[in-house]
């Protein structure tokens, strides 16, 4: 990463795997402020934490996919269709409490200190009990086995004010009913074993040169001779790309109360692969004001690309609530669910969607 500000005093900022370097000529008026400007830019774009943020983005994108291609409380059915989405955050080298405390401090175009993931997808499923196959496949009774698949892909360039988004989600899962549910009005006891593969990719980029919303400036000083002001006004692109592949192994159960409300919970081990990349390419003029008015004193550019992968294995717990809008004797024909996931990677997600079964 290179930042040049001329004609200011040469200086440098070290941020772990990243670095800002100033290589201009000496200037007696503004030279003392170059260090402050370097630190302000570094703090705004989280340069010392970009590797952690990239790792958090990859882990959060994996977490956002969990639960999108399955169903945990619909009961017995032959076919299932539905859709939904999820939003996830992942805190690397900080607590989830730190993340919540900093949510209100985000600037309009600075980098968040934590990883973010999101997804939307449609899902279809089929139980194998009506297929003309043997009743058993090895130790598995086919009437207890359901295959589910989910998918979504979308892309929008210059969506608004220079923002572009693209997303792809795909998954294939097998869900086995290890124990059948008991009861009618109060239904309980079902135990589901779920596994499969989830792929999720999210790319978001902002180009200030093609949008109507300019990036905010970075300013130090107070416009006096003793404390001259320096302002960097950048234009360019900020982009985050997160991709993940996850193999979850889940065990879950649910309780249905008087047909209309189902509560479910489970635990899982997730095996994660993938990569997230943060790219920042900015340049712009530097203006100064020492009390006699503003003038251009130089220019600056910032270029960085950082990639990281998620932790390979993690444990996860999840809990959900499903409102059975159209109840059925052995489950739900139409259900609206909300699910929360929490992992040992300091991550949390909220998922919601609608499922129809028949």
Write down the residue that tokens 């009005």 correspond to: 185
The domain defined by 11-357 folds into Lipocalin (2.40.128)
**What is residue 68's predicted lDDT score, i.e. its pLDDT?**
85
Answer whether residue 18 shows pLDDT above 60: no
Answer whether residue 7 shows pLDDT above 50: no
The two beta strands, 163-179 and 145-160, are antiparallel
Average pLDDT over residues 155-174: 85
Q: Tell me which of 315 and 331 has the higher pLDDT.
A: 315
Average pLDDT over residues 281-290: 85
Domain-wise residue ranges, the chain: 11-357
**What is residue 176's predicted lDDT score, i.e. its pLDDT?**
97
Write down the residue that tokens 């990349």 correspond to: 277
Paired residues of 224 in beta bridges: none
Q: Give the tens place of pLDDT for each residue, 97-124.
A: 766 666 655 554 566 778 889 999 999 9
**What is residue 24's predicted lDDT score, i.e. its pLDDT?**
41
Angle CA 324–140–320, to nearest 5: 25
Answer whether residue 48 shows pLDDT above 60: yes
Q: How far is CA 294 from CA 48, 229, 290, in A?
A: 31, 9, 8
Distance CA 136, CA 256 (A): 29
**What is residue 284's predicted lDDT score, i.e. its pLDDT?**
83
Within 10 A of 355 (CB to CB), how many other CB atoms are there?
26
Distance CA 14, CA 117 (A): 28
Answer whether residue 137 shows pLDDT above 70: yes
pLDDT interval class at 349 (50, 70, 90): very high
**What is residue 250's predicted lDDT score, i.e. its pLDDT?**
98
**What is residue 110's predicted lDDT score, i.e. its pLDDT?**
60
What secondary structure letter does DSSP report for 75? B
pLDDT interval class at 38 (50, 70, 90): confident
Average pLDDT over residues 42-68: 87
Mean pLDDT over all residues of the chain? 85
pLDDT interval class at 267 (50, 70, 90): very high
**What is residue 159's predicted lDDT score, i.e. its pLDDT?**
62
Q: Please check whether residue 7 is in contact with residue 24, taking contact to mean a CB–CB distance below 8 angstroms.
A: yes
Distance CA 297, CA 30 (A): 9
């Amino acid at each position: 990463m290179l930042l040049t500000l001329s004609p200011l005093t040469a200086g440098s900022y070290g941020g772990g795997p990243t670095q800002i370097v100033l290589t201009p000529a000496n200037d007696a008026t503004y030279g003392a402020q170059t260090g402050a400007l370097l630190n302000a830019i570094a703090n705004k774009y989280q340069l010392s934490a970009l590797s952690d943020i990239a790792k958090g983005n990859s882990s959060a994108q994996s977490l956002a996919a969990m639960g999108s291609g399955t169903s945990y409380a619909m009961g017995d059915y032959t076919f299932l269709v539905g859709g939904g989405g999820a939003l996830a955050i992942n805190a690397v080298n900080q607590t989830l409490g730190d993340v919540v405390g900093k949510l209100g401090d985000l600037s309009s175009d600075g980098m968040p200190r934590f990883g973010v993931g999101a997804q939307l997808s449609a899902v279809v499923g089929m139980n194998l009990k009506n297929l003309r196959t043997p009743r058993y496949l090895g130790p598995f009774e086919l009437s207890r086995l359901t295959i589910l698949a989910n998918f979504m892909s979308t892309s929008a360039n210059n969506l608004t004010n220079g923002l572009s988004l693209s997303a792809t989600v795909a998954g294939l899962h097998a869900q086995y009913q290890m124990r059948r549910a008991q009861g009618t009005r109060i239904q309980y006891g079902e135990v589901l074993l779920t596994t499969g593969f989830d792929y999720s990719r999210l790319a978001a980029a902002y180009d200030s040169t093609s949008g109507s919303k300019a990036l905010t400036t970075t300013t130090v000083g107070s416009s006096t001779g003793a404390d001259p002001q320096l302002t960097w006004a950048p234009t360019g692109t900020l982009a985050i790309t997160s991709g993940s592949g996850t193999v979850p192994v889940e065990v879950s159960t649910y309780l249905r109360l008087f047909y209309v409300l189902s509560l479910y919970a489970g635990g899982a081990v997730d095996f994660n692969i993938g990569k997230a990349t943060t790219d920042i390419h900015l340049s712009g003029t530097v203006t100064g004001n020492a009390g006699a008015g503003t003038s251009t004193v130089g220019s600056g550019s910032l270029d960085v690309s950082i990639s990281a992968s998620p932790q390979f294995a993690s444990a996860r717990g999840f809990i959900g609530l499903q409102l059975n809008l159209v109840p059925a004797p052995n489950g739900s024909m139409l259900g609206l669910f909300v699910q929360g996931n929490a992992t040992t990677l300091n991550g949390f997600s909220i998922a919601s969607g609608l499922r129809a079964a028949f």
